[in-house]
Amino acid sequence: MIRAIVTDIEGTTSDIRFVHQVLFPYARQHLESYIRENAQAPAVSQALESLRHELAQPEATTDQLIEALYRFMDEDRKSTALKALQGMIWRDGYVNGSFTGHLYPDVLPALKQWHIQGLTLCVYSSGSVAAQKLLFGYSDAGDITGVFSDYFDTHVGAKREEQSYRNIAGKLGLPGEALLFLSDIHQELDAARAAGWKTVQLIRGEADPESVHPAVSSFEQITPETF
Ligand SMILES: CSCCC(=O)C(=O)COP(=O)(O)O
Ligand SMILES: [Mg+2]
């Protein structure tokens, strides 16, 4: 029996185009000035230190770090340090009303229904936990963070690694078979399944012929009680 549902964001609850055409360009546009203005702030200096560690360059200068961050953005690298900094930059955009977090219209009704049914709802994204809370806190439908119990990011591991799903299961205190992961990316679902989880793939656009996972085009079609 499913006790908790863990959802991805990009391509699952929210349009990939919102992330790639709104969020990422906003972070790119403000990255350099944000870092130069806030380099001494504890959260920023911690992210820069973590980036030095990721790069294995303990002596890297701010200029070198900024250059590396642009390269990571070009590669869509799921670097924990980059994701932390992007989340900090996006805060201004949400708060000043530059954008709201995109939600597919089928998402909130299903989340509310599952919440009422007593299921635990969580998020797992490469975006930092702070960035996840912003997207759902300033979503198209307002603040919907009340439906979620927990948020996980790359601090539990990368999304294509089986161990990450074991780590989340451990944190939730639930066995894999009681957990359902929703994602648009079959490699993420493969990793979750290898950890014993149930899986559903969201196909918001083109079909994925390489996938072996049950597929739906909308949250409306997901029936946790049938797993
Ligand atoms: C919190 S929304 C931004 C998501 C993000 O930064 C990202 O890189 C999406 O990665 P995912 O692993 O969730 O596809
Ligand atoms: Mg995704």
- The interface predicted TM-score (ipTM) is 0.96
* Ligand lying closest to the C-alpha of residue 126: 1
CA-wise closest residue to 107 among 227, 11, 197: 11
Show the domains of the chain with their CATH numbers. Answer: 4-15+100-226 (3.40.50.1000), 19-95 (1.10.720)
The H or E element containing residue 134 is: helix 129-137
Query: What's the whole-number average pLDDT of the chain?
Result: 98
The model's pLDDT over 94-117, given as tens digits with 9 standing for 90+, comes to 999 999 999 999 999 999 999 999
The model's pLDDT over 144-193, given as tens digits with 9 standing for 90+, comes to 999 999 999 999 999 999 999 999 999 999 999 999 999 999 999 999 99
- The response to whether residue 135 sits with its C-beta less than 6 Å from ligand 1 reads yes
Query: pLDDT at position 29, please?
Result: 98
Query: pLDDT at position 37, please?
Result: 97
Beta strands in the chain (DSSP E): 4-7, 120-124, 150-152, 179-183, 198-202, 215-216
* Nearest ligand 1 atom, CA 128: 1
pLDDT band at 92 (very low <50, low <70, confident <90, very high): very high
* CB neighbourhood size of 214 (10 A): 14
> What tokens were used for 163?
């161990």
Q: In angstroms, rounded to a whole number, what is the distance separating the alpha carbons of residues 222 and 139?
A: 22
- The response to whether residue 132 sits with its C-beta less than 6 Å from ligand 1 reads yes
What does pTM read for this prediction? 0.96
**Mean pLDDT of the region 11-30:** 98
Query: pLDDT at position 88, please?
Result: 98
How far lies 187's CA from each of 88, 147, 191, 199, in Å? 28, 27, 6, 11
The model's pLDDT over 191-227, given as tens digits with 9 standing for 90+, comes to 999 999 999 999 999 999 999 999 999 999 999 999 9
**Mean pLDDT of the region 58-72:** 98
- The response to whether residue 183 sits with its C-beta less than 6 Å from ligand 1 reads no
Residue nearest to atom 7 of ligand 1 (CA): 127
- The response to whether residue 159 sits with its C-beta less than 6 Å from ligand 1 reads yes
Angle between helices 42-55 and 62-75 (to 10 degrees): 70
